[in-house]
Structure 1
Amino acid sequence: MIGDLLAAIARHGRLALVAGLVAGLTLPDLAALIRPWLPHLVGLLLFLTAFRIGLRQAAGSLAEARSGLLLIAVFQLAMPLAALVIFWTLGLMATPFAIAVMLMLTAPGVSGAAAFTALLGRDPAPALRLLIAGIAVFPVTVMPILWAAPGLGDIADVLAASARLLVVITLASGLGFALRHLIPAPDLRQVDGLNAIALFVIVIGLMAAVGPALRADPVLVLKWLAGVCVVNFGLQIACYMILRGRSGADPTGPSIIAGNRNVALFLLALPAATTDPLLIFIGVYQVPMFLTPIAMRWLYAHRPHQKAAH
């Protein structure tokens, strides 16, 4: 009975994200209740994703590891440096939007990227590999950005926060891989149902700051929302168009990570004076993020040409 219910939830997993966004906006008390538990829920989501994939599939090949590191260098180093140059040239470096975008581009992929990929019916393993590797090299890739833009925060605090996140991801993923070893053939539909429930609850908590802001200044919130949708969806489209058909690999996972970054990581590391003006950005950023499996389905529905296996 429970298995059938979870399978039904998995079939409508994308609708659960919309329901979570609506609940987060309309039920502020519930959102505030969930918010303190977000780190635990993110850990649960990573555990479920790792269990769904399994260690063997998540490990991938040496060639995939090399291409993954190249993508991470582009995502977490080249992109924010390019944005820094553009904003500096335009004289926009001190604006909250420019600071928020540079922090977003510096961050590794969002923890739910693999789950989003699974909701789209694609292999979530590449996204999980990029997520783990991106967190692992984040202490290295973030240094040039903080050096070039020292106003973004203290490097020691950022590195400490990234270390904590890496520990959480390693533990959650390790437990998931271990359980998959004990249960080698789980019903993936049921696991996807649990993933959808976890995402539903997480998005409610992440929207805790958006509802009050929307009621206080709806025009400002809508301006921020328009900006983050252009950045998020634009990066996904550009990455997919560049990567499709190039190596025979599915570009869905990398493209989702290109636009969806763990910008909330900086809330744990930077001083309140830096992050307070960015709370609206972080809040509205959840909208295109959690709508990715729905709003970008038109893009990821077209399977790229893949090389025949030998």
Structure 2
Amino acid sequence: MERVLWLISDNARACLIIGLLLGLGLPGLAAAMAPWLPQMVAGLLVITALRIGHRAANGALSDLRWGLGSVALLQMVLPVGLFAACRLAGIDQTPAALAMVLATAAPALSGSPNLALLLGQDAGRMMQILVLGTACFPLTMLPILALMPQAGAAQDVAISALKLLGVITGSTLIGFALRAHFFPKPSPDTVRTLDGLSVLAFSAIVIGLMAALNPALRSDPAAVLAWGLLAFVLSYGIQIAVYLLLSRSPLDTLAGPLAIGAGNRNIALFLVAMPVEIMGPLMVFVGCWQLPMYLTPILLRRLYQPGTP
């Protein structure tokens, strides 16, 4: 089993592609896995924290100045600016505008530390950004809901965010405890094994996430193509802009984690509170939103790892 996990670790990007293809090509499997996504996300966070270790994620309190500032910019200023641009263009009431604003208002995706690991970035910093952004989300989302009340009731969204924060915190503490007890000083082979386990879990989750996309692909492929294009432009545009801007600033050491967090958001937090009549198109967007995320380690590899082939 250990050698299998080593093989998975050495072929991480190929495993992500296989996960996407299985999710798109096996709709029955995707539908069967979809109800288990909350448990799978919790398990992924445990594995990620086990791989990172608590020492790598230390320093959150001393980093509050840049942390709170980045959360305010990425989760409030950016979506409000996008809404203003959509209002000026006369498209602020369209599903596309709603998708863009909600995607940029959400905190970093639960799988963002795994993306950081795959891209050779500081996964401990990424974990800090994930926790801080999710903790602040009940406050940062208030201006967004005031501007776009169709996004749902503030109380419902806040409760969803607090539940997620509980899952993230609990899963992370369990992973840190397991690391401290079983692998306080892991060997290179152990780290390689944990990397393989993390990649395997991350690749499996995307199968269930593709469940909403399969029916849409069969019924209206043109709409899926349009939503997919929007997802790629939004996610990669933000990642590239944030990385290039911060890499030339005093926060250059944080450029990678902040860019990953900025372009990979947990838009599903809003869906629990949205009216049924506007959820349909956004569920297709949420499915498409997984594509740039899982392809980031492949398509944006040279951005985060300059000089790599």
TM-score higher than 0.5 here? Answer: yes
Residue 128 of structure 1 deviates from its aligned partner by 0.7
Residue pair 1:34, 1:201 contacting (<8 A) in 2 also? no
CA distance in 2, matches of 1:67, 1:193: 32
CA distance in 1, matches of 2:231, 2:61: 35
Describe the SS at the equivalent of 2:91: coil
User: Of residues 286, 299, 302 in structure 2, which corresponds to 1:295?
Assistant: 299
Residue pair 1:79, 1:105 contacting (<8 A) in 2 also? yes
Amino acid at match of 1:58: A
Residue pair 1:160, 1:269 contacting (<8 A) in 2 also? no
Where does residue 235 of structure 1 map in the other structure?
238
Where does residue 49 of structure 1 map in the other structure?
48
Residue 93 of structure 1 deviates from its aligned partner by 1.1
Residue 63 of structure 1 deviates from its aligned partner by 4.7
> Normalised by the size of structure 1, how large is the TM-score?
0.94
Bigger shift: residues 114-123 or 133-142: 114-123
Sequence identity percentage: 43
Where does residue 308 of structure 1 map in the other structure?
none
Matched residue pairs, number?
302
CA distance in 2, matches of 1:144, 1:199: 32
Q: How does 1:169-248 map to 2 (within 5 A)?
A: 169-182=168-181, 183-186=183-186, 187-247=190-250, 248=252
Residue pair 1:153, 1:274 contacting (<8 A) in 2 also? no
Describe the SS at the equivalent of 1:208: helix
Residue 62 of structure 1 deviates from its aligned partner by 4.8
Q: Unpaired segments of 5 or more residues in structure 1?
A: 304-310
Where does residue 118 of structure 2 map in the other structure?
119
Bigger shift: residues 55-64 or 236-245: 55-64
Residue 32 of structure 1 deviates from its aligned partner by 0.3
Describe the SS at the equivalent of 1:59: coil
Where does residue 15 of structure 1 map in the other structure?
14
Amino acid at match of 2:227: W
Amino acid at match of 2:184: P
Where does residue 254 of structure 1 map in the other structure?
258
CA distance in 2, matches of 1:61, 1:87: 35
CA distance in 2, matches of 1:107, 1:58: 22
CA distance in 2, matches of 1:63, 1:296: 30
> Normalised by the size of structure 2, how large is the TM-score?
0.94
Give per-residue Cα distances to partners, 1:8-30, cap 9 Å, x unaligned.
11111111111111111110000
CA distance in 2, matches of 1:276, 1:61: 38
Give per-residue Cα distances to partners, 1:228-262, cap 9 Å, x unaligned.
11111000000000011423414111111111000
Q: Unpaired segments of 5 or more residues in structure 2?
A: none
Residue pair 1:157, 1:270 contacting (<8 A) in 2 also? no
